[in-house]
Amino acid sequence: MVRRRTPPDPAVEAALARVRGRAPQMRPNVRRLAAFAGVHSCPTAAVAFAARIDTDRLLAGTTAEMPFGQSPFAIGRGIAFEALLRKHGHAELRRVLSDGLGVDFSLAAIENLREGYQPNRHGLLVRASVTRGRMAEIVSNPDEPVVLDGAVLRADVGGLPAFFEADEMAIGVNGEIIVGENKSWPVVDGRPTDEELLGAALDQAATYILLGRRTLEQSGIDPARISSKAVLVTPRNTGLAPVLHRQEVGSRIRRVDRLLRGVPNVNDIAASVPPSATFDRIADASLAEEARLDAFGEVTEELGRVYEPAACLTSCGLAWACRRCVFAFGGPALAGGHIAHALPGVVTLVRVAQLGRGAPPSPAEAPTAAPIARAGRLYDEVLPPGQPAQQRPA
């Protein structure tokens, strides 16, 4: 039976709709959560995530659009690998689970929750309900190995419901639930070819474990019945022959838990975001690019902006637009995140130069002004004012 959710507050929905305007919407998933984790300290990114704005597509058609997206070759390899695992009644998946977990899965019940359900929100609700029931069955029937392929977990993200689709969410082994994730990148001689991809995959599995534990807890079942050791199924070496790996992800589970708890609540967003703050003009493709980017600058100034090149350029679809804003007024982040962190209270690089020449600091600049002035004096000792840089003493 599918539980009915509490209808959202119309005032909150209206406020979120105003914030979004014509901005494209997104459905939270593990990739989106991982990206948000890298920029969660940015007020603009937090508001956009809570309002379900697709920041990857918000600036489509402008020079600030970020080139996110997976290689078509990687997509094709992923499809081929998933098909191999499910071919002939999941024969390869049964083999790799048997070999890797030491339990015979040759006759295990494998339920494919990707088929037979509507491809919409109602279908996700039904699949989440089925997943919850099947997980309880796995825990109560330790002698019958079961695999749920395409399990769906429901979670509250920022006060709104979200659905997450796992690969092998529930692998029953002696009444224990094990979370599995399939990845098509290879492991060569026992080592992943890309440590970042490995980390992202383990974060995915940690998210599913956390949400699975919450689901069991809601059913009155001990959440510890879901193992903190995740299963990764990847190709061995350069072919597609699958192999299983297990890895402890306890610390990642705790980090994901902190991240989910830190997502701004939509009620707080609706109450705190100024009425004038909207992403509508930014997303309006009928406007000239300069007008859209100017609107972006205005909104991010109003909401607050934190630009850290290392994190933003790899995680946020707004990074190039934010970098443009930072260039416009010479923000310290231009010199890198570590420089910006070392200059609290100092707004621009021009102001850094002024403080280095002995300008009196404001109260906010006072903690940083002394070392900046000292650095300025040292610089002048090495390169006296008026001396060309190429004549700097050896």
Q: Is residue 207 domain-shared with residue 289, that is, in the same domain?
A: no
CB 110 within 8 A of CB 149: yes
Same domain, 377 and 322: no
Number of C-alpha atoms within 13 angstroms, CB side, residue 145? Answer: 16
Predicted confidence (pLDDT) per residue in 76-108, tens digit: 888 898 889 889 989 999 999 999 988 898 888
pLDDT at 3: 43
168-181: per-residue pLDDT in tens? 666 888 888 999 88
* 170 & 227 share domain: yes
Per-residue confidence (pLDDT) for residue 206, from 0 to 100: 92
Q: Cα angle at 119 between 118 and 124, to 5 degrees?
A: 80
Residue at 197 is within a domain: yes
pLDDT band for position 300 (50/70/90)? very high
Judgement on whether residues 165 and 238 belong to the same structural domain of the protein: yes
For residue 351, count other CB atoms closer than 10 A to its CB: 20
Q: Show the tokens assigned to 346.
A: 């100092």
Helix (H) or strand (E) holding 57: helix 55-58
pLDDT band at 296 (very low <50, low <70, confident <90, very high): very high
- 355 and 311 within one domain: no
Domain of 103 in residue numbering reads as 72-261
Question: Is residue 59 within 8 Å of 282, Cβ to Cβ?
Answer: yes
Q: 10 Å Cβ neighbour count for 309?
A: 17
Q: Would you say the pTM of this structure is higher than 0.75?
A: no
Domain boundary, last residue among 209, 232, 261: 261
Among 229, 261, 293, the domain boundary falls at: 261
Task: Name every residue whose Cβ is closer than 8 Å to that of residue 164 and which is 6 or more positions away in sequence.
Answer: 28, 29, 30, 152, 153, 154, 155, 207, 208, 211
Residue 327 has pLDDT above 80, yes or no: no
